Amino acid sequence: MHEIEPFFGWRDEYIASEDKQSPFYRKIYNEMAFTQTIYNYYIHPQWDFFGSSTLYCKVLFADYENNFAVIELMGEWNDAVHNDIMEMKRGLIDPMIKRGLFKFLLLGENVLNFHASDDSYYEEWYEDIKEEGGWIVAVNFREHILDEMRSIGLHHFIYLGDKYNDILWRKLKPAHIGEFIESLLVRSIG
């Protein structure tokens, strides 16, 4: 797991540790020591801790003018045991919403498993952003994870499914991926 790195292709446009509005502003990364673990497996030091012991993130892009953020996730999303959504909502999403971000793109290629609990924090997140025209989109999550998410009704709060999988987001500039996702959302609503 220590070889799974966050995407670095947009660092010329955004670095969360240099963004004064980011929850990770001024974070210093030690590239020489692996200290963070998921179930006793060391992970790459560039992943950011937001309160969960099994799920880490990297804010790849935040656009405060267009109220848009791209968050890459890695690990096991475990709401049943660790209440990861509560940790994510309180430690990552709430501070971002306070800074005017209400459109969230969650990249899930490195999420290996998902264990559901209830939908209350997802509903709260959705309620916090819907008045502003906000949205949450799950991109490139594994099918078994999407099945589990659907089983507890998360599709009522998060756009997920085939339309949002197999998106080659790394080939796009961060601003363009926001436009692309918005166009998909307009087509699905219209």
Residue 5 lies in a domain: no
Residue 11 lies in a domain: no
Report the half-sphere exposure of 103 (CA within 13 A, side-chain side): 18
pLDDT at 187: 74
Q: Tokens in use for 63?
A: 């656009």
Residue 8 lies in a domain: no
Reading the chain (190 residues) residue by residue, the pLDDT tens digits are 678 899 999 999 999 999 999 999 999 988 778 888 888 889 999 999 999 999 999 999 999 999 999 999 999 999 999 899 999 999 999 999 999 999 999 999 999 999 999 899 999 999 999 999 999 999 999 999 999 999 999 999 999 988 999 899 999 999 899 999 999 898 765 4
Integer Cα distance of 107 and 142 in angstroms: 11
Integer Cα distance of 27 and 75 in angstroms: 20
Residue 124 lies in a domain: yes
Residue keyed to tokens 């990249």: 107
State the Rg of the chain over Cα: 16
Residue 91 lies in a domain: yes
Q: Tokens in use for 60?
A: 């790849």
Tally of residues, the chain: 190
Domain count across the chain? 1
Q: 121 with 127: CB under 8 angstroms?
A: no
**For residue 37, what is the DSSP state?**
E
pLDDT at 3: 83
Which residue from 120, 117, 152, 156 is spatially nearest to 135, judged by alpha carbons? 156
Alpha-helix runs per DSSP H in 21-119: 79-82, 84-88, 94-98
Question: The domain spanning residue 44 has which CATH number?
Answer: 3.30.750.24
pLDDT at 175: 85
Backbone angles phi, psi at 91, to 5 degrees: -90, -20
pLDDT at 189: 58
Residue 10 lies in a domain: no
Residue 21 lies in a domain: yes
pLDDT at 18: 97
Residues of the domain holding 45? 16-189
Residue 61 lies in a domain: yes
